[in-house]
Amino acid sequence: MIVVTGAAGFIGSALVWMLNQRGETDILTVDVHPSDAGEPNLAPLTYDHGYENHERFREDLLAGRFDTQVRAILHMGACSSTTETDWDYLERNNVQYTKDLCLAARRLGARFVHASSAATYGDGSRGYSDDHAGIDQLQPLNLYGKSKQDFDLWARAEGLLDEICCLKYFNVYGPNEWHKADMRSMVCKGYEQVRDHGLVKLFKSDRPEFADGGQQRDFVYVKDAAAMTLWLMDHPEVGGIFNVGTGAASDWNTLIGSIFAALDRQPNIEYIDMPDELKGKYQYFTQAEMGKLRAAGCDVPITPVVDAVREYVAGHLVDGRHLGA
């Protein structure tokens, strides 16, 4: 069977949906007990082995109760809040938990693919290369990024990077992210602003080389991110740290303009001052280097931002439709 942790969440539920699209239902879903907000992500999907609490799953896995069953572990479960300040919690939940699953997967001979994060790149001044050699030079801007960086460094030190995959997801957006509250993508939040107020608010730029709304990010559609993840699951001969993005940054004005276009409305953007607490921590440019993943043979096509936003808005946001519903 395939185990998907964080399965009630955003990328995790997209993976379960995509596995279902491939006709695969031999799946065990793992998460904290799904909340009223997160449970709809799993409701339309099929997973023959049911749902298990994340701590119970770790206990069962380490106790050897899955020794003949697990083909792959897709570990998407973690605290993903970039504002979390409890390091002890992050170390237990994001770092040690991932180590435990990784070592168990290796003992079982199961494929292990886990979610690292582009947050490990910090302000981007050291680039966005997913080469193993330079990861110790990265300086994450928050403790969430540090937790992901710590596991990557541990995996390298243990000589495991050729056997597992650590995926640095960039700015993922798409259906099934409603439960993420303030951590939802700007496509989701921007659509709601248009729906409720007829305009979208964006931060002004305080750097002269960027116009207001000209700050750039690598926005990747969740369906594309899931497809890249499953490609790596299917190719155990490929290991290492890999960026998961598009390789082409888009600015906020283009992203928000795509929302208005999907609704057949003229763009209406209001630029507001950036909060003091974000100054010096705000990323003005991110762009995944995708050459390493492509060189490994991954040929998953990238959906252009305008097309992906149109599909997301018209097919999911307008009527609140989850993947598989």
Render pLDDT for 129-179 as a digit per residue (tens, 0 to 9).
999 888 999 999 899 999 999 999 999 999 999 999 999 999 999 999 999
Q: In 3D, which of 170, 159, 63, 149 has the Cα closest to residue 98?
A: 149
CB 95 within 8 A of CB 145: no
Residue 317's alpha-carbon distances to 79, 197, 304, in angstroms, are 25, 16, 18
* Bridge pairing between strands 219-221 and 171-173: parallel
3-state class of 15 per DSSP? helix
User: What pLDDT, on a 0 to 100 scale, did the predictor assign at position 36?
Assistant: 67
Measured CA to CA, the distance from residue 29 to residue 46 in angstroms comes to 10
Do 46 and 25 form a contact (C-beta atoms < 8 A)? Answer: yes
- For the chain, list the domains and their CATH numbers: 2-170+220-245+288-302 (3.40.50.720), 171-219+246-287+303-325 (3.90.25.10)
Q: What is the mean pLDDT of the chain?
A: 95
Active-site option among 47, 97, 121, 144: 144
Inter-CA distances, 263 with 4, 16, 152, 176, 198, Å: 34, 29, 41, 20, 11
Question: Which residues of the chain fall below pLDDT 50?
Answer: none
Question: CA torsion 135→234→54→106, rounded to 10°?
Answer: -70
pLDDT of the residue at 72:
98
- Show the tokens assigned to 287: 């762009």
The catalytic position among 51, 99, 180, 282 is 180
pTM for this entry: 0.96
Name which of 186, 188, 187, 177 is nearest 226 in CA terms.
Answer: 177
Q: At what angle do helices 222-234 and 10-21 cross, to 10 degrees?
A: 70
The number of CA neighbours under 13 Å toward the Cβ of 12 is 33
Residue 235: the pLDDT is 98
Q: Quick one: residue 264, left, alpha or beta (phi over 0 = left, psi -120 to 50 = alpha)? A: left
State residue 71's pLDDT score. 96
144 is catalytic: yes
89 part of the active site: no
